[in-house]
Amino acid sequence: MKISRIAALCSLAFVMAGFSFAPATGASLPPGWPGAGQLFVGTNYQPFDRSGREQIEHDIQRMKEAGFRVVRMGDLSWDSFEPREGKFDFTLFDWIMDRMHAAGLKVILDIPGQPAPMWLHRKYPGVNLVDERGARLDPAERYMDDTSDPDYRRLLVRLADTMTKRYARHPALFAIGYNNESGNGMVSYSEADRLRFIAWLRRKYASLDALNKAWATQRWSRRLGAWDDVRLPYKEDVGPYERYLDMRRFWSDQTVEVLDSLEAVRRKNVPDKPAISNLWDSSGRKGFDMLATYRRYVSYGAMGFYPGDPLSSAFEATMMRAAMDTPIWFNEFTAGGPGYYGTPGRSRMWAHFGLLLGAQAVMPWTWHSHHGGEEQALFGLVDHDDRASWKLGEFEDIAREFRTLEKLGFPRLPKPDVAIAYAFDNMVATNLPKAGMSNSVRSYINPGYMKQAHGAYEPLFKDNVDVAVIHIGHEDLGRYKLVIVPGMYLLDSASLANLRKFVADGGTAIMTAQSAKVNDHSQWHDTPLPGGLTDVFGLRTNEFYNAGALQLTVGSETVKGEFGGYEVLEPSTAEVLARFESLDGKPPAITVNRFGKGRAIYVATAAQAPVMRSLYRQLYASLGITPGPKTPDGVYARTVDGRVLYVNTSSEARDVEIDGAMRGVLTGRTWEGKLHLAPLGVDLLQK
C-alpha cells in the first residue's frame, strides 16, 4: 500500500509513543583500586636499551620533571629477566623499580611473554611456527611464537609467577600487563597444532556427524570419515568457509587461554593491582574474540592508540572500552613514528580527544628514539642523541593540563544509551582472504562490516552522542535504549536470543541490510531471513539487487545517494516508514515492527551515514536521547559536570557557537557567543 511522507511520519510517531525507558546504569571504578579520580600521563620505557645506570637515572629524572606519573616497562624483554632457562636476573630491574619509586613514578609491569627468547626456541621446538607447506619458520620478527605450545605456556606462567611475586609488594607497582599486543602474531600449521585443533573440535561438536553437518562436507565430496581427516584450513586460500571460521575461533581461544593463565597468576600474587594490558583483538594476522571474553582477564580497556581519522579512531577506542564501567587506558599513545618525527600539537589534541571518549591515561610510544631493531628510526620523546625533543615539552603540557582537569570531572565515565553490535566471528565471516562466491554475493550491497559499523556510528559521533561497541550476545542489553545491528552477516544464536529479549522487554533495535544471513557455522539459514528474527522485525527479506542512485524520505528529510543496492522487504506485521521513491513500485526502504513492549526497525540498505542520520534524528526524542553540544565539522565536544570540552581535530581553525559568555579553563580566555579554536585546538569552557 502506498503511504505518503506525512502518513509515514505519523505512523512513526504512533509506533514510538507510549514507551518509557530506564536510565542507563551508573559507572564507577572498583573500590580501592588505584587511579580513581586521577588522570595519568606517562611513557613506555625500554631500560635495557639504555647505556647504563647513569643514563637511566637521567631518564627517570626527566620523567619526573615532566610531571609524568606512570611508566610502562618490562615488555619485549623476556631474556633480560631470564637470560637462560630458569636463571633469573633482576639486579638491574630491582634498582630501576627503586629509582622509579624514589622519583614518585608508578610502574605498569608488563609480563614479557612475547616474543619468546631464542633459548626457548632452540630447546623447545614446539614453540616454532610452521607454515602452510609444513616448513619450520625461524623467529625472524616479533610474535613468531606458537603460544598454544605446552612448554611455552609452562615457562610463561613461571616467568609471570616469578615476576609478580618479586614485585607484588613493591611500592612502585601500579598494575600488571600481559604479553604486549596479545592477538598479534601468526597461526601455525604444525602437526601438534593440527592435533590440538582436532581436540578443540571434539569438545565443540562431540561427534563426527555433527562436525560434518557444521562444515557442510557433503558439498564437493569433502566428507570426513575419521577425526584424523581434519586438517588446518589454509589461511591464504581458505577453501570451505565453515572450516576457516572454526580455525580462527580455535586460535582465538588459544590466545584467551594464555590470557586466562596470566590472569590466574595475577589474582594469586597481586590481587590488589589491576590488569591493564595492551590488547590487539582486531589484528589482521590473528586477532581474538575480546568482546566475548574480556571480563575474564582485564580490569580496564587498554590499547595502542595511533589515530588516523577521528571516526575510525573513536570507534576502535570505544570498542576497547566495551561495556566496562572503567576508563580507557592508552598504554601506547601516538608521539612520533618510524621515520615520522611528529607534528606539534597533534599529540595534545588526541590526548584531549581521548578524554572525550572516557580515557584516563596517555603513555607515548616511546620514551627514547630507537637506534636499532625492527623499530629503528622510530622517534620518541628523546632523540637518538639523548636530547629531549619538543615532544617531551608537549607531553609536559598535557600532564599539567590533565592535573587541572582531574579536579573537574575527569576521567569521565560515559553511560551510553546506544550500543552498536560487533563480533569477532562476524569480522572473520565477512573478511575472508579468498575472493570466493560468498564474498562475491555479499559485495552486491554490503561494503563490509566495518564500513557499515562506521556508517552507523558516524551520525552519532558527529552529534556528540556516547556509544558503546559490544558483543550483543554477551552483555546486558537492558542498560541501553537503542541497539544497532549494522550488517551483521553472521549473528550468532546467543546474539539472536539476546536481541529478541531486548526488543520484547521494551528496547528499540535497528538492523541494516545483509544482517542475520548465516548461522553460527557461517551457513545460510534455511528459514526466511533475517534468520531467527522475522517475527521480531515483522518481515522477511531474501532478494537483493544492485542499484545506482536511490532516494528515500525519512520523516521530513529526503535522502539521496549511491547506496550500492537494496534488499526487497516483504512486511507482514511491520509498518512501512520510508519507501524508495526512485524505484518502480516504491518498495519499502525502512520498516518498524512492534514486538512485545519494544520495536524493531529494518533498513533495506547498508548502514550509511545519510540514511542513519535521518533515522536517528526521528528517534532521539522518543528514546530520550539528547545529542551533545552542536559543533562544526571536525570539532567534537562533551559536557562534563556543567562544563564543555571542545576538541578541534582538523588542521584548520574552527568557530563554535556558544551560549553567552564563557571562560576557557585551559586558555584562560573569555568568549562571548563564539569560541575560536585554532587548528588542533582544545578548550574546556565554563560559565
DSSP 8-state class, residue 239: -
Q: What's the pLDDT at 2?
A: 33
The residue whose grid cell reads 597533534 is: 346
Q: How many whole angstroms separate alpha carbon 360 and alpha carbon 331? A: 10
Q: Where in the chain is the domain with CATH 3.40.50.880?
A: 415-623
* C-alpha dist (Å) from residue 432 to 24, 40, 243, 438, 522: 37, 39, 12, 9, 12
Q: Is the overall model pTM greater than 0.75, yes or no?
A: yes
Query: What band does 23 get if pLDDT is binned at 50, 70 and 90?
Result: very low
- CB atoms inside a 10 Å sphere around CB 196: 19
C-alpha closest to that of 602 among 687, 495, 510: 510
- With vertex at residue 603, the alpha carbon angle to CA 282 and CA 477, rounded to the nearest 5 degrees, is 55
Tell me the helix, strand and coil percentages in the chain, rounded to 5.
35, 25, 45
Q: Which overall architecture, per CATH, does domain 40-187+259-405 show?
A: Alpha-Beta Barrel (3.20)
> Which amino acid, residue 463?
D
Please name the fold of domain 635-686. Immunoglobulin-like (2.60.40)
**Cell numbers found for residue 562:** 549511491
Q: Where in the chain is the domain with CATH 2.60.40.1180?
A: 635-686
Q: What's the Rg (C-alpha) of the chain?
A: 26
- With vertex at residue 312, the alpha carbon angle to CA 306 and CA 318, rounded to the nearest 5 degrees, is 85
Per-residue pLDDT of 245-263, as tens digits, reads: 999 999 999 999 999 999 9
Question: What CATH number should be reported for the domain whose range is 415-623?
Answer: 3.40.50.880
Residue 149 pLDDT > 80, yes or no?
yes
- CB atoms inside a 10 Å sphere around CB 633: 9
Taking a C-beta distance cutoff of 8 angstroms, is the pair 414, 466 a contact?
Answer: yes
Strands 588-595 and 575-579: antiparallel
Per-residue pLDDT of 359-374, as tens digits, reads: 999 999 999 999 998 8
Residue 6 pLDDT > 60, yes or no?
no
Query: What band does 431 get if pLDDT is binned at 50, 70 and 90?
Result: confident
Q: Where in the chain is the domain with CATH 3.20.20.80?
A: 40-187+259-405
Taking a C-beta distance cutoff of 8 angstroms, is the pair 219, 180 a contact?
Answer: no
* C-alpha dist (Å) from residue 600 to 489, 577, 677: 17, 12, 41
Per-residue pLDDT of 458-492, as tens digits, reads: 999 999 999 999 999 999 999 999 999 999 999 99
The mean pLDDT of 394-411, rounded to a whole number, is 96
Per-residue pLDDT of 554-589, as tens digits, reads: 888 899 888 888 999 999 999 999 999 999 999 999
Q: What's the pLDDT at 21?
A: 24
